[in-house]
Structure 1
Amino acid sequence: MSTTTPTAETAPSFGLGIGRSVRLGFSRIKLEVRSYFRQGDSVFFTFLFPVVMLTIFAVAFSEQNFGTEEEPLTAAAFYLPGMIAAGLLLSGLQNMAIDIAMERSDGTLKRLAGTPLPVMSYFIGKIGQVFTTGVLQATLVILVASLAFDVELPSEPSKWVTFAWVFVLGVTTSAVLGIALSGLPRSGKSATAVVIPVALVLQFISGVYLGFSMLPEWLQNFASIFPLKWMAQGMREVFLPASFEVMEQSESWNLPGVAIATGLWLVIGLIVTRITFRWIRKDS
């Protein structure tokens, strides 16, 4: 009587399945990026919005010193970290939640459900699009700040290492949370009304448009629950002078806290996505 060896039989098939899903996912990134830039409203409200807001604040407060007499700081330099962090949230959470809700509403996800495309490949394509546009957006914001408003960029390699890991962790977390949030709107038409207010409130309470130290303590504590506050804090460590560290909630940049808080939200987003994501709504 012969016996079977399931490990030898199934392991290669599993590996090939994962490899195929990854290849299909990476092949979708170009398609997703092209589709993104064809949507004028998405390009403005998620890609160009931080650049526009940085320009407005830099011009409106051009005569104001945000630092000290010994260490002056322009408005453009002060708002740059927050705008980069806000860009991660807009490119990830806001864009992803609205985009997937629209695709679910117009039948795109239903059509994809009838194809051999794995869900993993779909996610890789979406997250790859967010990462690509996020890199382009952050580069544009930094170039505008440096070339148009003479913001002095960090020269220490360690600062750019911090920028890299905060950016990668932040954009990935935002994208995953956007996928998780995409199931909340009941239709594509209501997606903007549901998602944009969430993103806007988070920006106001997380130190993007207002100095975080200016907020009441209870609101600082509330904002600390959410990842944008921590992403903005990490970016401030990169771009602001060391003297600004004492203005943080714990009087330190607390980079380990940035990593832990953002990482926890990444895990939460993955769990919620795993439980709730469907090609079509359950009640549709």
Structure 2
Amino acid sequence: MNAATTTTTTRPARFGLARTLRLGAARIGYETRVYFRAGDTVFFTFLFPVVLLGIFSVAFQGMGNVGTNPDGSGGISQASYYLPGMIAAGILLSGMQNLGVDIAMERGDGTLKRLAGTPLPVMSYFIGKMGQVLVTSAAQVIILMLLAKLAFGVELPSEPEKWLTFLWVYLLGIVTAAVLGIAISRLPRSGKSAAAVIIPPLLILQFISGVYLSFSLLPEWLQNVASVFPLKWIAQGMRAALLPESFASAEAGGTWDLAGVAIVLGIWLVVGLVVCRLTFRWIRKDS
């Protein structure tokens, strides 16, 4: 074996893990900058839950506290009551809606086709997308909590176990939503139709999942439908983390059912990963 052959066989792989991670980290910065330059995307996925929290808190504060005792004491403010739902909605919008529409548009305008002709590994592309979702979603949660705390006097939990619950529900929820967003990006047949195909079903899901309306007010059959999808469980997990324990009695079954939250979100995460693995292409086969 000559020296040239030895050099070739011992050279690091072109698409090694270190290179993939390095390119992925660079893509996170790029994707985040592009995200904040798109005004409509920033409003409808980043600021939308913040605006709704402000509107609901002001509009319904005249109704008094939620969960008051018969003598009128106790309960929590409207802002405290709606905060978990707005965080859950933000997770859905940042993950599923943002990535579903964004990737479909990139496929439609030829961006993915051009990327396929570059040395960029597919995994680096996904690291960029997932990283952008985590960065923007975390910023959104911080803004929601600051608004609730500073503008409406919401008392955030002081117990470490509550924050531990918040952390794992948030991480599992945002990763699941992002993976499902990549999966549903295959549904639109063109970039122009992406918003029309993806946004309306997700909007309906928000109304039946205990985000804008109390879940207990919905008819049983609609509760059963909503329980199939992940948003209901993300919202329930957020309520478990941010609301007093007495509010657990208002949930289906009378408990927070955090085990159910973990199981359902875990199932949807696996389903999303399988769908992504089987269906993702840089370009549509029928294009």
Q: TM-score range by the shorter chain?
A: over 0.9
Q: How much has 1:239 moved relative to structure 2? A: 1.1
Q: Secondary structure at 1:84's aligned position in 2? A: helix
Write the distance in 2 (CA, Å) between the matches of 1:179 and 1:190.
Answer: 16
Q: How much has 1:14 moved relative to structure 2? A: 7.0
Quick one: which of 231, 247, 251 aligns to 1:248?
A: 251
Q: Secondary structure at 1:63's aligned position in 2? A: helix
The match for 1:267 is 270
* Runs of 4+ with >4 A deviation: 9-16
The match for 2:188 is 185
Corresponding pairs, count: 277
Question: What is the CA RMSD across the aligned residues, in angstroms?
Answer: 1.8
Change over 3 Å in CA distance of 1:15–1:245 after alignment to 2: farther
Which residue type is aligned with residue 158 of structure 1? Answer: E
Quick one: which of 112, 119, 122 aligns to 1:119?
A: 122
The match for 1:194 is 197
**% identity of equivalent residues:** 65
Listed one character per residue, the Cα deviations across residues 107-152 of structure 1 (whole Å, up to 9, x for unaligned) are: 1101100001111110010000000000000000111011101111
The match for 1:33 is 32
The match for 2:66 is 66
The match for 2:242 is 239
Which residue type is aligned with residue 66 of structure 2? Answer: F
The match for 1:211 is 214
Which residue type is aligned with residue 43 of structure 1? Answer: V
Write the distance in 2 (CA, Å) between the matches of 1:74 and 1:15.
Answer: 57
Greater Cα shift, 219-228 or 63-72: 63-72
Q: Which runs of 5+ in 1 are unaligned?
A: 3-8
Calculate the TM-score normalised by the size of structure 2: 0.93
Calculate the TM-score normalised by the size of structure 1: 0.94
The match for 1:18 is 17
Q: Which runs of 5+ in 2 are unaligned?
A: 2-7
Q: Does 1:149 align with 2:152?
A: yes
Is contact 1:67–1:74 with CA below 8 Å preserved after alignment? no
Write the distance in 2 (CA, Å) between the matches of 1:221 and 1:268.
Answer: 20
Is contact 2:15–2:121 with CA below 8 Å preserved after alignment? no
The match for 1:108 is 111
Q: How much has 1:241 moved relative to structure 2? A: 1.1
Q: How much has 1:16 moved relative to structure 2? A: 6.5
Write the distance in 2 (CA, Å) between the matches of 1:22 and 1:130.
Answer: 17
Which residue type is aligned with residue 247 of structure 2? Answer: F
Listed one character per residue, the Cα deviations across residues 165-195 of structure 1 (whole Å, up to 9, x for unaligned) are: 1111111110000000001001111001011
